[in-house]
Amino acid sequence: MYINFWYPAEQSTHITEQPLKLRMLGQDFVLWRDSEGVAHCLSNTCTHRGGSLGLGIVKDDCIQCPYHGWRFDGNGNCVAIPSLGPNPNIPGRTRIDAYPVEERYGLVFCFLGDLPEGQRPPIMEIKEWGQDGWRHTTQAFEFNFSFQRSMENGIDPAHNEFVHDTHGFKGQREDYFTPEVIPESTEWGTGFGGWLEAPPLPEEKMREASGRDVVAKMWAGTGHEGAASLWTFIHPSEHMHIHQYAFECPVDEHNVRIFLINERNFLIEPEHDQRMMDRNMYTIVQDRDVLLQLQPVETPETNDKEMFMPADLCIGKYRERLREWEARGWRIDTETVKRNEKKVAYAIPSPARREHKGWVLDAIPLVEPDGEAAQLDIASGA
């Protein structure tokens, strides 16, 4: 898991003036909305005796710890210590890590890291958001597999015709092959796209909308942005476009929460929303059933513990990016966290740690960069 990215915490409508305790990157956070409607996100651990802020209440726009009533504002500053009586002199070291929050696309994103504003990787853009002629649906899923396994499945073109019958031949065509993957890099990601032979869409309404009832070439592309966001564009016909954006959040090393925003430019009347969501659910369950059984549960640390084929090129590129971010010191040292979990409460370092010294909670341990990027060995198949 990696710090210094924007992660989707929840749908905007789920963040209210009631505190919500959420786990992300293996740590707990508390989120709430103040009376102006502004959402806040703090580390969940109270700096007094380690109380769980998410079990407290919101008072005067601040979160109040359920143990001794200390109160923290949205910037993480302690503003009340009842045991000190009126007009207390509150030490700065009581401060709690507060994380930048942005609401976009109906989701609450938290920047979990300490990078200053100008250096942060952006939230993946949805160009169609709010545009005429497009309609979106939002779905949330939580699965017991790692975000990395999930991400790699998203940029894996060779599984489609074996796992999904909705847009492939489901392993029925002897002469089928995965078109060449030519990865294209962006500042924070890698993607690819190309033309592939596709059968007519199985569902009647969708087939009608595509205007195609024969096998034909269809354009599809996919890619990742940052550690945990995916885009997939499927164009079953020239005028029928499905653009999917998956914002993933590692709950911990072995669990992931996924917010899927599906944009479409056909059947845009609201009565077709359920049809699209059912279709997405159908395919994501097919992926889930495969991903739940992968061994090992975590992606191997080195690429030589699996075989790579040309169709896996984008997965290899994604792993190279992860290693670059590890080399910047962004990867959480989960082994050390696990070893100490009963003894040490950690916090993901927030941007304020670069301005203030003296924090009660230790910053989460990060993997020491070893500077060696692994080389991907792609088998030619010859």
Contacting positions for ligand FES (CB under 6 A): 46, 48-51, 65, 67-70
Please report, for residues 164, 215, 236, the alpha-carbon distance to residue 206 in angstroms, rounded to integers and kept in the order given: 16, 15, 9
Question: With CB cut-offs between 5 and 8 Å by kind, which of ligand FES, Fe ion, none does residue 67 bind?
Answer: ligand FES
* Rounded Cα gap, residues 167 and 184, in angstroms: 23
Which string of x and - marks every residue 361-380 that binds Fe ion (by CB under 5 A)? --------------------
CB of 98 to ligand FES, least distance (A): 16
* Rounded Cα gap, residues 4 and 325, in angstroms: 9
Question: With CB cut-offs between 5 and 8 Å by kind, which of ligand FES, Fe ion, none does residue 316 bind?
Answer: none
CB of 63 to ligand FES, least distance (A): 10
Task: Report the residue number, 49 or 338, with the smaller CB distance to ligand FES.
Answer: 49
* Rounded Cα gap, residues 233 and 312, in angstroms: 18
Question: With CB cut-offs between 5 and 8 Å by kind, which of Fe ion, ligand FES, none does residue 287 bind?
Answer: Fe ion
Task: Report the residue number, 51 or 351, with the smaller CB distance to ligand FES.
Answer: 51
Q: Between residue 275 and residue 304, which ones bind Fe ion under the rule CB under 5 A?
A: 287
CB of 317 to Fe ion, least distance (A): 18
Task: Report the residue number, 97 or 287, with the smaller CB distance to Fe ion.
Answer: 287
Q: Is residue 253 within 8 Å of 115, Cβ to Cβ?
A: no
Task: Report the residue number, 81 or 276, with the smaller CB distance to ligand FES.
Answer: 81
**3-class secondary structure per residue, 245-286:** EEEEEEEECCEEEEEEEEEECCCCCHHHHHHHHHHHHHHHHH
CB of 48 to ligand FES, least distance (A): 3
Q: Is residue 244 within 8 Å of 222, Cβ to Cβ?
A: no
Question: With CB cut-offs between 5 and 8 Å by kind, which of ligand FES, Fe ion, none does residue 141 bind?
Answer: none
CB of 376 to ligand FES, least distance (A): 48
Residues whose CB is less than 8 angstroms from the CB of residue 273 and which lie 6 or more positions away in sequence, other chains included: 135, 137
Question: With CB cut-offs between 5 and 8 Å by kind, which of ligand FES, Fe ion, none does residue 70 bind?
Answer: ligand FES
Q: Is residue 303 within 8 Å of 376, Cβ to Cβ?
A: yes
- The residue number with the shortest CB distance to Fe ion is 287
End-to-end CA distance of the chain: 36
Does 114 engage in binding with Fe ion (CB under 5 A)? no
Question: With CB cut-offs between 5 and 8 Å by kind, which of Fe ion, ligand FES, none does residue 49 bind?
Answer: ligand FES
Please report, for residues 15, 34, 43, 96, the alpha-carbon distance to residue 51 in angstroms, rounded to integers and kept in the order given: 21, 21, 11, 12
Torsion of CA 308, 309, 313, 316, to 10 degrees: 0
Amino acid at 164: H
CB of 314 to Fe ion, least distance (A): 14
Instruction: Enumerate binding residues for Fe ion (CB under 5 A).
Output: 287
